[in-house]
Amino acid sequence: MHVEINQDTPESIENAGMQNNTDENLMGLVAGGDKDAFAVLVRKYLPGLLNFFHRMNVYSGDRDDLVQEAFIRLFNYRAKYTPTAKFRTFLYMIARQVQVDYFRKQQRRLSLSESLKEEVEEPGITNARRGKEEDRKEMVAKALETLSEEMKCVVVMSIYQGLKYAEIAKILNIPVGTVKTRMFHALQKLGKAIEYEG
């Protein structure tokens, strides 16, 4: 009789394992203190979180700190994570809380809006130097600014983070129907705010 054992090297298995692992599995490893698995998750979700904080009007100089804070909280809460919950939902719940805490603690939303306006307007570059596409983007960005915090959060999570409505509902702790209704009205409002040229 003969034993057939897979001859994959430990390294190749480990690499393939990390790549093939679901986020939930990786988070399971993180729960056991595995920093390599944590690094994989950080690299995967860091751009998305930067984008999230950007779209939620976090001042550009603070975004890195908020991303860092979100991942540190993720690591500290790792024991509370259960594999039955979708990892992405868990992460964005944390990120949303970090963002809420940020605005609440610093109470700088108004000044932030002013900073962002400055960023968008980019003093020194005249409108004449911009193409039509930039103008349109600016218009859309400004329109997004007009949304309420509640509506903007739903739009940002759906459009820019690619989260499903059910996930957004879980993150914001609201009914999924409310998410869809907010999204619907937000799009209607944005449509009105955006002026298009023929």
The footprint of another protein (CB under 8 A) covers 1-6, 8, 10-11, 13-14, 17, 25, 27-29, 31-35, 38-39, 42-43, 46-48, 50-51, 54, 64, 67-68, 71-72, 75, 78-83, 136-137, 140-141, 144, 155, 158-160, 164-165, 177, 180-181, 183-185, 187-188, 190-192, 194, 196, 198
Q: Among residues 19 and 107, whose Cβ is nearest to another protein?
A: 19
Residues in the chain: 198
We find the least distance from the C-beta atom of residue 68 to another protein, in angstroms, to be 5
We find the least distance from the C-beta atom of residue 50 to another protein, in angstroms, to be 4
What are the tokens at 187?
């799009």
Alpha-carbon span 91 to 163, nearest angstrom: 12
We find the least distance from the C-beta atom of residue 47 to another protein, in angstroms, to be 4
We find the least distance from the C-beta atom of residue 107 to another protein, in angstroms, to be 25
We find the least distance from the C-beta atom of residue 111 to another protein, in angstroms, to be 23
For 191, phi then psi, to 5°, come to -60, -40
The pairs formed by 82-87 with CB atoms below 8 angstroms and a separation of 24 or more are 83/24, 83/25, 83/27, 83/28, 86/23, 86/24, 86/167, 87/22, 87/23, 87/24, 87/26, 87/27, 87/41
Q: Among residues 108 and 138, whose Cβ is nearest to another protein?
A: 138
Q: Among residues 56 and 107, whose Cβ is nearest to another protein?
A: 56
Count other Cβ atoms within 10 Å, centred on residue 19. 8
What are the tokens at 87?
């990892």
